[in-house]
Amino acid sequence: MRALHSALIVIAMTVASGVPVLAHSLEEVDQDLRAKETYFQAVDKEGPAFTLQDSAGRTVSLSDLRGKVVVLNFVYTNCPDVCPLHAERIAELQTMINRTPMKAMVEFVTITTDPKRDRGTVLSEYGQGLDPVNWMFLTAAPGQSEDNTRKIAEAYGLKFTESEEGMQMHGIVTHVIDQDGRLRARFHGLKFEPVNLVVFVNALTNRTQKSHGHPEPGLWERLKGLIR
């Protein structure tokens, strides 16, 4: 825990300094993650659109989130195993990011794939440990089909297959969408290094596109050294 706390301090001090974040370009971060993060998949395509509603019934579209980096995941509240673990990982990532100025630049979005059950207070009560200031749990809007959100998940490359018992077979993916609504990365499963996702988000928030031009260890390497 002490090492993780030190890592968070490093992130906070670096981002708060105003320097283009350890000056690593998005291209450099992308290349390093391809080489070092087994569960990272680089993507560059338009994020599939969605228009859903939150626990209070407010309509939310992906286009409404333009200007922010979006960390997106899919779960359903009746899931007995991996979904709660995924929610814990999202809470961990949000805690890391929200201790830095990135808090105002990043929105966490969770979409349920079981909108028939998951709405209203079910949504609001599910997010224990998540900060509602930049996290929302979305479900299908009135009039949308019960499989609407599963189709959205499939558009993002993640299939939820419903069984007769109401359970859903599915994988786990954390998606990262940039400020222009483009899907830029998938982090598969739960074994990826949280710091790697934070560094990737950091590069997006800084819009750094050019190399810094001098050999310097990456942020994630410095942080991994602290966490080990």
Is residue 170 annotated as involved in ligand binding?
Answer: yes
Is residue 188 annotated as involved in ligand binding?
Answer: no
* Buried/exposed 44-71: b ≥16 CB within 10 Å, e otherwise: eeebbebbbbbbeeeebebeebeebbbb
Distance, in Å, from the CA atom of 111 to the CA atom of 225, rounded to the nearest integer, reads 34
Q: Cα dist. 98→102, 123, 216 in Å? A: 6, 21, 26
Is residue 175 annotated as involved in ligand binding?
Answer: no
Q: Cα dist. 43→31, 47, 74, 130, 151 in Å? A: 12, 10, 18, 27, 19
Binding site residues for Cu cation, as ranges?
A: 79, 83, 170
Binding site residues, as ranges?
A: 79, 83, 170
